[in-house]
Amino acid sequence: MLALVKLAGEETDNLDSKTFDDISRRVDELMANTPVEDVQKNLRALLSSWFARLDLVTREEFDVQQAVLQRTREKLLQMETRVAELERSLTDNNEN
C-alpha cells in the first residue's frame, strides 16, 4: 500500500512522480467512464433549446434597442412640438 501521508517524520519516498501520474490517469479514466459528461451534454442541449424558445436577447442587444427607443422618443417629442407650432401658426393665419 502506498504511503500518502507523512507520519511522525517518516518520508513518503514510496510516492514518486510516476505513481502520482498513474493515480491521476486512473482517476481521469474513471471520470471519463461515468455518465456525468453525457448528463452535462444533455442538460446543456435542453437549456439551449429552452432558451431559444423563449426568444431571449443578449444584454448588448437590449441596450442597443433601449438607445434606439430613447432616440425615437426624443424625435417624437420634437415632431409633436413642431406640429403644435404649425397648428398655432395655421390658426393664427386663419384668424387674420
Structure confidence at residue 5 (pLDDT): 47
Q: Residue written as cell 427607443?
A: 69
Q: CB-based burial of residue 16 (10 Å sphere; 0-12 exposed, 13-18 middle, 19+ buried)? A: exposed
Structure confidence at residue 10 (pLDDT): 46
Kindly tell me the sign of the dihedral angle through the C-alpha atoms of 83, 85, 90, 95. Answer: positive
pLDDT tens for each residue of 59-93: 999 999 999 999 999 999 999 999 999 999 999 88
Q: pTM higher than 0.75 for the full model? A: no
- Using pLDDT thresholds of 50, 70 and 90, give the confidence band for residue 2: very low
Residue ranges covered by each domain of the chain: 57-96
Structure confidence at residue 7 (pLDDT): 45
pLDDT tens for each residue of 4-48: 444 444 444 555 677 777 887 887 777 776 777 777 888 888 888
60 close to 67: Cβ distance less than 8 angstroms: no
First CA to last CA across the chain, in angstroms? 111
**Using CA atoms, how far apart are residues 82 and 88, in angstroms rounded to an integer?**
10
